[in-house]
C-alpha cells in the first residue's frame, strides 16, 4: 500500500499526462473539424458552380428550342406562300406542271439539307460543365503536388 505522499505525488503526474493527452486529442479533433469544414466549403463552392452552369445550360437549351420552333413555323409559312406564288405565276403558262413537280422536289431537298445540318449540330459534343471539370482537375493537380511536396 502506498503512503499518502506517494499517492499525492503520483496523482498530479497522472492527471498531467492525461490532460496532455486530452489536449493533444482536442487539437487533433479541432484540426479534423477544420479539415472537414474546409472540405465541406470546397464541395459547396463546386456545387454552386455546377448549379450555375446547369442553369446556364438549361436557359441556353430553352432559348434554342424556342428559336427552332419559330424558325420551323416561319419557314413553313414562307415555303407555302412561295409555292403558291410560283404556281399562280406559272398557271397560265405551259410550265405549270413543271412548277408543280419542281416545288415539292425543291422543298424535299431543302428539308434533307436541313436534316443533315441538324444531325451535324447534334453530333458535336459541347463541353458541358467545362468550368466545374476544369476546377476539379486543378484541385486534383494541387492535391498531387501537395502530397509530392510532403513526401
Q: What does the pLDDT profile of the chain (151 residues) look like in tens digits?
A: 455 554 454 445 555 556 666 666 667 777 778 878 888 888 888 888 888 888 888 888 888 889 888 989 898 999 899 889 988 988 898 888 888 898 889 988 988 998 898 888 877 776 666 777 777 788 778 777 777 776 6
pLDDT recorded at residue 30 = 75
- SS in 3 state form for 49-104? HHHHHHHHHHHHHHHHHHHHHHHHHHHHHHHHHHHHHHHHHHCCCCCHHHHHHHHH
pLDDT recorded at residue 109 = 92
Total tally of structural domains belonging to the chain: 1
Boundaries of domain holding 90: 4-150
Nearest to 136 by CA among 66, 49, 52: 49
CB 130 within 8 A of CB 56: no
Amino acid at each position: 500500500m502506498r503512503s499518502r505522499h506517494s499517492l499525492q505525488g503520483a496523482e498530479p503526474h497522472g492527471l498531467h499526462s492525461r490532460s496532455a493527452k486530452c489536449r493533444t486529442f482536442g487539437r487533433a479533433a479541432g484540426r479534423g473539424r477544420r479539415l472537414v469544414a474546409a472540405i465541406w466549403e470546397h464541395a459547396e463552392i463546386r456545387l454552386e458552380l455546377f448549379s450555375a452552369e446547369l442553369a446556364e445550360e438549361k436557359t441556353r437549351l430553352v432559348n434554342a428550342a424556342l428559336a427552332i420552333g419559330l424558325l420551323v413555323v416561319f419557314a413553313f409559312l414562307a415555303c407555302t406562300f412561295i409555292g403558291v406564288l410560283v404556281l399562280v405565276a406559272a398557271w397560265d403558262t405551259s410550265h405549270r406542271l413543271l412548277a408543280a413537280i419542281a416545288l415539292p422536289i425543291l422543298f424535299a431537298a431543302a428539308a434533307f439539307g436541313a436534316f443533315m445540318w441538324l444531325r451535324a449540330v447534334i453530333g458535336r459534343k459541347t463541353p458541358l460543365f467545362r468550368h466545374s471539370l476544369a476546377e476539379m482537375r486543378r484541385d486534383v493537380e494541387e492535391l498531387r503536388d501537395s502530397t509530392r511536396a510532403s513526401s
